């Protein structure tokens, strides 16, 4: 996914959301598979709410941004080397997942906010999915998105799409540089998979979106404005065809379960290998997964299930609920390397460190024993 080797790099992530009447219960159900470099470790981090002094600054993965007075408590599934997250939820029942995407807008290697940084900032600052969306678009316009998204000397850069959900509704937010379009989802089921998917049904957009497209010659200003059609690459690389296939497969799996979608249904979709949604290919694999149940009844708690381990078909989804006294589980925290961390030294990523947390190590050891047993039985 580097801008320098975009055509050869594999990629895949899939996000899903179900709202009544697609859900089997009066709840919004969110799910995501995070597909990353196969040896990358994801940790699950609980960040408490906080208050911050006026004028304070916040260090994200690469750059600093202005801090806000109050931030919400969040649970994050994140690549252990960076500040942001691939997916997560906050104490108000807001969930967000992101996806890599390439568009007509060029992808630069200049360090800015990663899409994963924007995701965490949205969770820390948004008490609803719409408020989180506004946080992300505001920061996107102010700071931009950019920088390598992989712990490797070779840059690995992309723009982002997001799926945001809360107890009442969901939003699809798709970006191209600092430009963006958003679609509100109030019923039924929706998925996103590494491509632009918002057509003419645009609920909100960057004020200069259409003028920019017309100026670039991508849109004539007369025909209906179809965001995906206008901003998608004219010549799609082969890997994007795979993303289209996964998107269609995800749509079909949601359709097959329409009216009966539960947390278990979503876990089954995330574990589906035949479609490529649960993936292991070309040096990439599903490194972590998440499913959240967000009851429409505000007196009922939201329940978030996270694996913290690779391959959901061979992982357990562990539940988490925001409640008084909840604490960080140390077994899913990766080691900290401080100023000697390869992401902090310059030039970045010239060395490697072992980021495996105890659960990851135990999971990999168990899988190794299972594979040995299978070979022995086969003989």
Please check whether residue 13 is in contact with residue 101, taking contact to mean a CB–CB distance below 8 angstroms: no
**316 belongs to a structural domain:** yes
State residue 11's pLDDT score: 58
Please check whether residue 209 is in contact with residue 226, taking contact to mean a CB–CB distance below 8 angstroms: no
**8 belongs to a structural domain:** no
Taking all residues of the chain, what is their mean pLDDT, rounded to a whole number?
A: 94
Task: Name the band, by pLDDT with cuts 50, 70 and 90, for residue 3.
Answer: very low
**81 belongs to a structural domain:** yes
Helix axes of 115-125 and 129-143: crossing angle, nearest 10 degrees: 130
State residue 239's pLDDT score: 65
**350 belongs to a structural domain:** yes
Please check whether residue 13 is in contact with residue 37, taking contact to mean a CB–CB distance below 8 angstroms: no
Catalytic residue among 13, 95, 149, 278: 13
**6 belongs to a structural domain:** no
Q: Which pTM was predicted?
A: 0.95
Cα 40 to Cα 355: distance, rounded to the nearest angstrom = 8
**95 assigned to active site:** no
By residue range, what is the domain housing residue 258? Answer: 14-378
In tens, the pLDDT along 305-356 reads: 999 999 999 999 999 999 999 999 999 999 999 999 999 999 999 999 999 9
Instruction: Report the 10 Å Cβ neighbour count for 254.
Output: 21
**58 belongs to a structural domain:** yes
State residue 379's pLDDT score: 60
**Containing H/E element for 215?**
helix 209-215
In tens, the pLDDT along 197-236 reads: 999 999 999 999 999 999 999 999 999 999 999 999 988 7
Please check whether residue 28 is in contact with residue 294, taking contact to mean a CB–CB distance below 8 angstroms: yes
Distances 266 to 93, 132, 237, 262, 263 between C-alpha atoms, Å: 18, 23, 29, 6, 5
Distances 125 to 2, 28, 72, 120, 132 between C-alpha atoms, Å: 30, 21, 6, 9, 7
Residue 7 pLDDT more than 60?
no
Task: Name the band, by pLDDT with cuts 50, 70 and 90, for residue 4.
Answer: very low
* Total domain count, the chain: 1
**86 belongs to a structural domain:** yes
Please check whether residue 92 is in contact with residue 42, taking contact to mean a CB–CB distance below 8 angstroms: no
In tens, the pLDDT along 37-73 reads: 999 999 999 999 999 999 999 999 999 999 999 999 9
Cα 118 to Cα 140: distance, rounded to the nearest angstrom = 8
Cβ-proximal residues to 223 (8 Å cutoff; 6+ apart), any chain: none
In tens, the pLDDT along 111-136 reads: 999 999 999 999 999 999 999 999 99
CATH of the domain at 89: 3.60.60.10
**264 belongs to a structural domain:** yes
């Amino acid at each position: 996914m580097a801008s320098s080797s975009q055509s050869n790099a594999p990629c895949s992530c899939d996000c899903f959301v179900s709202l009544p009447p697609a859900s089997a219960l009066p709840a919004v159900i969110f799910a995501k598979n995070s597909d990353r470099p196969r040896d990358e470790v994801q940790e699950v981090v609980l960040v408490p709410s906080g208050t911050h002094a006026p004028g304070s600054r916040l260090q994200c993965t690469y750059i600093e941004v202005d801090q806000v007075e109050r931030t919400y408590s969040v649970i994050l599934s994140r690549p252990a080397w960076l500040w942001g997250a691939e997916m997560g939820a906050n104490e108000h029942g807001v969930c967000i997942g992101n996806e890599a995407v390439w568009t007509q807008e060029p992808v630069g290697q200049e360090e800015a906010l990663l899409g994963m940084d924007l995701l965490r900032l949205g969770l820390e600052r948004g008490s609803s999915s719409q408020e989180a969306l506004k946080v992300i678009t505001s920061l996107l316009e102010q700071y931009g998105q950019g920088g390598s998204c992989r712990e490797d000397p070779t840059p690995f850069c992309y723009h982002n799409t997001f799926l945001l959900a809360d107890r009442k509704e969901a939003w699809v937010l798709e970006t191209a540089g600092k430009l963006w379009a958003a679609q509100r989802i109030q019923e039924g089921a929706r998925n996103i998979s590494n491509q632009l998917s918002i057509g003419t049904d645009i609920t909100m957009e960057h004020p200069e979106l259409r003028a920019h497209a017309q100026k670039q010659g991508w849109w004539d200003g007369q025909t209906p404005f179809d965001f995906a059609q206008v901003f998608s690459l004219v010549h799609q690389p082969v890997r994007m065809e795979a993303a289209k296939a996964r998107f269609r497969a995800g749509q079909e799996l949601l359709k097959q379960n329409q009216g009966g979608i539960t947390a278990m249904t979503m876990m089954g979709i995330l574990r589906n290998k035949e479609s490529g949604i649960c993936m292991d290919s070309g040096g990439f694999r599903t490194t972590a997964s998440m499913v959240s149940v967000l009851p429409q009844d505000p007196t009922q708690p939201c329940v978030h299930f996270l694996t913290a381990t690779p391959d959901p078909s061979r992982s357990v989804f562990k539940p988490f609920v925001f409640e008084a006294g909840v604490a960080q589980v140390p077994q899913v925290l990766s080691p900290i390397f401080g100023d000697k961390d390869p992401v902090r030294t310059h030039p970045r990523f010239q060395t490697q460190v072992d980021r495996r947390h105890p659960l990851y190590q135990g999971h990999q050891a168990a899988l190794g024993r299972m594979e040995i047993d299978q070979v022995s039985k086969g003989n």
